[in-house]
């Protein structure tokens, strides 16, 4: 295995956020019809994100031996120190020990609207209390304040860089999510994607804890052939900088049509395909599709799921969620839950208007948050 080095800079990040009235939407159905009305209350240009890095010294460690020291000076094992660089073999992620491995954790909501959760103490709570080993950082591309639609590109990239930094310091894995949704077809902002992924993958070419998700949820008119054409331009850009990076490709119909990818897969190693489900909407028919594709050898990563319906709202269906998670465990699939935010919607795991960004207690969480936190805690594997 190629040895890489992970450079972790010990820093204190001060984030000053001026943000109010922001809103957004969720996945798997055409949404955001009310986005401009809901978010117009927020002047995105007034959102000020200042990052102050106070250098206390640089610590360079071998990626395969990354550790985290607690306040008492004891060395703690972390997910990354235990499992190191990952690769795809058949339908499984394989760790540095040659063993099957599973990533699991939370996905942020759009970082343009909920930047407060890109915070080392947030990530620490998710690792130490929720027992997760992965964080997905969702950067919307086309919605209000999105990377390709008038958002502050440098501020958004800085949040991603901070998130990668914090994940690295904590020995967690991190997914950088190019969150296609309203743009429908990833080719709409392909040129922006090329520049973004070239810059980010060149910066983090020596970081083995990063996974690239190059298009969240192609939908509507987006075809699998069009997605493949996009991927065939983006993947070589990333691989030119990091030849071993694990890359995830979204599939049509809000990342439900993995059968199309199974019938005509891309020709790259270390590649996975995303499936998204919302348990109150996507039931046995989609689980059957997943089973068929896995049995045909398709490597699938569930980069987003919710316990509610596909709008991100409605009642939770924990019975269907349990069936999904049973299947996930049966096939050793990796998975991330949507979403880490305090938005007033069912899928957000923090109670609406709760201002805490870490150390949440039971009464700080929504119904969704209480359920998924318990599941993570009861199923710790790393």
Residues annotated catalytic, as ranges: 217, 304
How far is the C-alpha of 154 from the C-alpha of 9, rounded, in Å? 20
For 214, counting Cβ atoms within 10 Å of its Cβ (0-12 exposed, 13-18 middle, 19+ buried), the class is: buried
Contacts of 322 (CB under 8 A, 6+ apart): none
Contact 24, 143 (CB under 8 A): yes
How far is the C-alpha of 199 from the C-alpha of 147, rounded, in Å? 14
Residue 225 phi, psi (nearest 5): -65, -40
Q: What is the DSSP-derived secondary structure letter of residue 61?
A: E
Question: Is 231 in a helix, a strand, or coil?
Answer: helix
What is the Cα Rg of the chain in Å?
19
Count of other CB atoms within 10 angstroms of residue 100: 13
Handedness of CA 224, 230, 232, 237 (dihedral sign): negative
């Amino acid at each position: 295995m190629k040895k890489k080095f992970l450079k972790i800079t010990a820093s204190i990040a001060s984030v000053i956020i001026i943000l109010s009235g922001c809103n957004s939407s969720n996945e798997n159905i055409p949404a955001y019809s009310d986005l401009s009305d809901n978010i117009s209350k927020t002047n995105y240009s007034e959102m000020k994100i200042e990052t102050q890095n106070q250098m206390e010294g640089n610590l360079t460690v071998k990626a395969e031996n990354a550790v985290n020291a607690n306040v008492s000076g004891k060395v703690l094992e972390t997910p990354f120190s235990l499992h190191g660089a990952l690769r795809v073999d058949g339908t499984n992620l394989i760790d540095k020990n040659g063993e099957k491995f599973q990533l699991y954790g939370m996905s942020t909501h759009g970082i343009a609207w909920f930047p407060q959760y890109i915070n080392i103490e947030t990530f620490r709570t998710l690792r130490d209390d929720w027992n997760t080993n992965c964080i997905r950082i969702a950067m919307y591309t086309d919605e209000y304040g999105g990377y390709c639609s008038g958002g502050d590109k440098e501020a958004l990239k800085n949040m991603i860089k901070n998130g990668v930094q914090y994940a690295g310091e904590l020995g967690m894995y991190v997914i950088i999510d190019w969150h296609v949704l309203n743009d429908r077809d990833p080719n709409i902002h392909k040129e922006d994607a090329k520049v973004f992924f070239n810059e980010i993958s060149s910066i983090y070419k020596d970081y083995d804890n990063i996974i690239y998700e190059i298009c969240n949820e192609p939908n509507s008119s987006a075809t699998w052939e069009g997605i493949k054409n996009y991927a065939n331009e983006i993947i070589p850009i990333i691989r030119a900088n990091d030849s071993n990076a694990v890359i995830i490709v979204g599939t049509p119909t809000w990342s439900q049509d993995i059968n199309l990818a199974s019938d005509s897969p891309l020709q790259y190693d270390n590649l996975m395909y995303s499936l998204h489900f919302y348990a109150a909407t996507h039931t046995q028919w989609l689980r059957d599709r997943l089973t068929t594709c896995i049995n045909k050898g398709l490597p699938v990563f569930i980069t987003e799921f919710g316990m509610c319906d596909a709008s991100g709202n409605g009642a939770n269906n924990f019975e269907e969620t349990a069936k999904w998670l049973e299947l996930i465990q049966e096939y050793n699939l990796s998975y991330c839950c949507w979403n880490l935010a305090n938005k007033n919607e069912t899928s957000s795991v923090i109670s609406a208007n709760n201002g805490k960004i870490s150390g949440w207690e039971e009464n700080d969480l929504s119904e969704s948050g209480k359920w998924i936190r318990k599941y993570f805690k009861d199923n710790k594997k790393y």
